[in-house]
Amino acid sequence: MAKSTVNRELALLKHIYTKAIEWGKVTENPVKKVKLFKEDNQRVRYLEKGEIKMLLDTCKDYMKPIVITALYTGMRLSEILNLTWDDIDFTRGIITVRITKNNEKRYLPMNTELRNTLEYLKKNCNLDSPYAFCNSKGDKFAKYTISHRFNKVIKELGIKDFCFHCLRHTFASHLVMSGADIVTIQRLLGHKTLAMTLRYSHLSPNFMQSTIECLRFGVDTFWTLEQNEKSATKEQVKESICNINAISHSGSLAQLVEQRTLNP
């Protein structure tokens, strides 16, 4: 179990005891002094576009729609497997996520690729099941089953430190790199706070470099100033030579000295 999950459960337990004391049900909070784990906020890697293609090419047919849904919605695996056809509104292009981690419904738009995938799945699914993703008996897939089989595919591809939940990271990261604002991404992911979403906004070094290269303030730097000074000096020398030649032809070098004195 992840440290973050333990912390959430412990925080809930502390809150329950606090309320129980207020209501006079208990006299003390036995978990009051239990310290939370220090969470590791290391940024988890996301899949590049080339890796996404390899993943989809390797996945079995029953797995592909699940992976595509994760990539285009950022939904958790449990949320995807709980989806019923009633949750998918093809007319409006909206998915309603009813069973969520924080028990709050959220509404996710479908893009063309996801809509086509789910429409094909519904049309070609011969099972009379309410679930969008189900096994041959019409029962929804078990979370462990999909997670385990997904890990086997990842291992086969040689991708390190990646699990199904990292598709959620991939969704958010590519949205950020496409220019989506962080608040919109927060709403799509269903995060309570913006701080949680910022953990998903890690960007590829190449994208960050290309972004910085867009900056052009038009300011003079020390080397452009130096180049300008050198150019100015060359022009002055050139002008002087022309003057010397012109005056030499008129017959007097003294005139040059006098001219430069009067017009420095």
DSSP assignment of 53-66:
HHHHHHS-TTTHHH
Model confidence pLDDT, tens digit, residues 168-206: 999 998 998 888 888 898 999 998 888 778 776 556 566
Q: Where are the domains of the chain?
A: 1-40, 43-211, 222-262
pLDDT (average), residues 27-42: 78
* 200 or 120, greater pLDDT: 120
Q: Which fold has domain 43-211?
A: hpI Integrase; Chain A (1.10.443)
Catalytic residues: 76, 101, 165, 168, 191, 200
Confidence of residue 117 (pLDDT cuts 50, 70, 90): very high
Place of tokens 């906020």: 41
| Contact of 225 with 209, CB cutoff 8 Å | no
Asked if pLDDT for residue 233 goes beyond 80, the answer is: no
Whole-number mean pLDDT of the chain? 82
- The CA distance from 65 to 156, in Å, is 19
Tell me how far apart the 2 most distant CA atoms of the chain are, in Å: 116
Share of the chain above pLDDT 90, in %: 45
What confidence score (pLDDT) does residue 181 get? 82
pLDDT (average), residues 44-54: 90
pTM of the entire structure?
A: 0.66
- The CA distance from 75 to 97, in Å, is 9
Share of the chain above pLDDT 70, in %: 73
Model confidence pLDDT, tens digit, residues 64-107: 999 999 999 999 999 999 999 999 999 999 999 987 777 789 99
Q: At what angle do helices 112-124 and 64-73 cross, to 10 degrees?
A: 150
What confidence score (pLDDT) does residue 62 get? 93
Asked if pLDDT for residue 40 goes beyond 90, the answer is: no
Confidence of residue 226 (pLDDT cuts 50, 70, 90): low
| Contact of 178 with 72, CB cutoff 8 Å | no
CA 247 to chain centre: 71
Asked if pLDDT for residue 254 goes beyond 60, the answer is: no
Give the 3-state secondary structure of residue 131: strand
Helix (H) or strand (E) run with residue 113 in it: helix 112-124
What confidence score (pLDDT) does residue 261 get? 44
Asked if pLDDT for residue 164 goes beyond 90, the answer is: yes
